[in-house]
Structure 1
Amino acid sequence: MTRIVHISDLHFGRDRPELLRPLREAIDLAEPDLICVSGDLTQRARPGQFRAARKFLDLLSAPWIAVPGNHDTPLDNLFVRFARPWKRWRRYVSPELEPVWDGPDCAVVGLNTADPLAWQRGRLRPRGLSRIKGRLGEAAKAGHTAIVMMHHPPEQLEADEKQPMRGASHGLHRLSEMSADIVLCGHLHVWRARPVFQSEGILLLQVGTGLSTRGRGEPNDFNVMTLENSGLALDRYGAGARETGFTRLSSHRFEKQNGRWQEL
């Protein structure tokens, strides 16, 4: 059994300071084996915002891995954005843009979908997909759950306002071929948990924002995932606009049967 906390879109620089301690305590209370942070740690990729994000992460009890989001490349310094887009990330967060983590029954691989040439729209790069092919193959051969973490959702609904990620459809096809089981993402500040339409063998788990004031009508939230055999227990925790504590909002259970995910 492996327990993973998934958080995203912390947006330090436009965060709710009153939620810093409650979020940290709620995550620690879940006693995760790993914390996955799917991008947008900062609002404007400024050094002070990165330092605040790193301080928050370092105070967590469990190990963590993170991938960049579109807000984690500087918007107000074009030279840095185009010439050295990941310099601040590497300095303050991690030298890795696409980290990996191996657990007793799962593998988590990161993909960097942030595109310095586009402010919001992401890109699912063929090179990144090729890089993780072997890792996902090893997980499938061992009978482990293969989890891919990225910032941008590889599949969006028609109601979503933001442009879909470049290369998303082809990327999902490749991920399906590589036997990916779960994709973790953020970006839209909405919560969703469902099999992707293009491939029911991939479960899309999307969280909103952990700390940002831009909740877009949804609570600040995070997920607790517990992997058990071929099943997944998923608990969503959240704090409303006038709340300063995180409580469990919903519980779900998914199981993969005959190559397809279904909610029980």
Structure 2
Amino acid sequence: MRIVQLSDLHFGTETPAVLEALLAACAQIEPVLVLLSGDLTQRARRHEFDACRQLIQQLAPAQVLAVPGNHDLPLFNVWHRFRAPYAGFRRVFGWQLEPVFETPELLVVGVNTTDPRRHVDGHFDTHSVEQVAGKLQSSSAKLKLVVGHHPVDAVLASDEQNIAGGARAAMQRWCEAGMQLYLAGHIHYPFFAPLSRRYPDLPDQAWTVQAGTAISTRTRDGKPNSFNLIDADLEMRVLSLTRWDFNAESGRFDPAEQVQLPLGV
């Protein structure tokens, strides 16, 4: 089972050659599911969402699950930000802001960490945390993932302020309910880490999967455009996490870092 995580596309700032290389890499990987972990647009404009829709069509036959990021809410149009903040997102992805993808083997639950009252910062709403926990607990799937936009861990000191409010309580609750991976974006700095690194009371087998920016010019700290591949061998109960980086010289994405961990908590 192959799942691709794309994040922080920021359509409106995309690099065409990187987008072409991304589509080629996805065609090679042939994922069953593509997860879009927010900031799909730069300014929530109609043409930016239309470009994202075109990407989704090109990713077929893979199914797509998306959650909004803070950039997917209007910034300058105050009326729309507070009266219809998710209108553009919903025009492409439907009404549900916390979508669910479920098969007998896989459960993916989306969580909306954005708030129209907050320009950048994210948080975990108590009601959403309990809703997600209920879905995790009621599922018998072997692999259970939660995807949001804002991170729950950081590598750089400057990113500490970007950790979503209520992260500790949410991770504790979801790990108790059976979550194995939490996937996020927002900071454009990719890494994989066990949740126990920041939250020592959590199981070592539960990890956070942090994505970089897939196609935008808004890379940071020398990190290239990248995306993540989750490869689950359900029979062997092994999970592989691989980061694919864009190589400007070759004009393609290649595997750059991989970790393997047992499937289960």
TM-score, normalised relative to structure 2: 0.91
Does the 8 Å contact 1:5/1:35 carry over to 2? yes
Partner of 2:232: 227
* 1:262 matched residue in structure 2: none
Whether contact under 8 Å (1:190, 1:206) holds in the other structure is yes
> What are the residue-to-residue correspondences of 1:128-143 with 2, within 5 Å?
128-139=128-139, 142=140
What secondary structure does 1:253 align onto? strand
Aligned match of 2:85: 85
Assess if the C-alpha contact under 8 Å between 1:194 and 1:205 holds in 2: yes
**2:120 & 2:250 partners in 1: Cα distance?**
29
CA contact (8 A) 2:162 2:187 kept: no
User: Aligned equivalents of 2:132 and 2:42: distance in 1?
Assistant: 28
Shift of 1:71: 0.4
Aligned: 1:247 with 2:254: yes
Match of 2:213 among 209, 222, 225: 209
**Structure 1 counterpart of 2:157, which letter?**
A
The 1:163/1:235 distance shift into structure 2, 3 A limit, reads closer
Give per-residue Cα distances to partners, 1:100-150, cap 9 Å, x unaligned: 1113422000000011111111011111112122220123xx251210000
Identity of aligned pairs, percent? 36
How many matched pairs? 255
Question: Over the residues paired in the alignment, what is the CA RMSD in angstroms?
Answer: 1.7
Measured in 2, the distance between the counterparts of 1:245 and 1:18 equals 9
Could you say which residue in structure 1 is the equivalent of 2:118? 118
Q: Which runs of 5+ in 1 are unaligned?
A: 260-264
Q: Does the 8 Å contact 2:195/2:208 carry over to 1?
A: yes
Structure 2 counterpart of 1:94? 94
CA distance in 2, matches of 1:22, 1:124: 34
Q: Secondary structure of 1:235's partner?
A: strand
Counterpart for residue 71 of structure 2: 71
Long gaps (5+) in structure 2: none
> What is aligned with 1:25?
24
Tell me the distance in 2 between the aligned counterparts of 1:181 and 1:160: 27
Contact 1:155 1:169 in 2 (8 A): no
Q: Distance in 1 between matches of 2:166 and 2:28?
A: 38
Q: In structure 1, what is the Cα distance between the partners aligned to 2:64 and 2:141?
A: 23
Is 1:154–1:171's contact at 8 Å kept on the other side of the alignment?
A: no
Letter in 2 for 1:214: R
CA distance in 1, matches of 2:188, 2:248: 14
**SS of equivalent to 1:64:** strand
The answer to whether the 8 Å contact 1:50/1:93 transfers is: no
AA in 2 matched with 1:218: K
Alpha-carbon deviation of 1:228? 1.6
Q: CA deviation at 1:234?
A: 1.9
Residues 58-99 of structure 1: CA distance to partner in whole angstroms, max 9, x if unpaired?
A: 111211110000100010111111111111111133322111
Could you tell me which of 143, 146, 153 is aligned with 2:144?
146
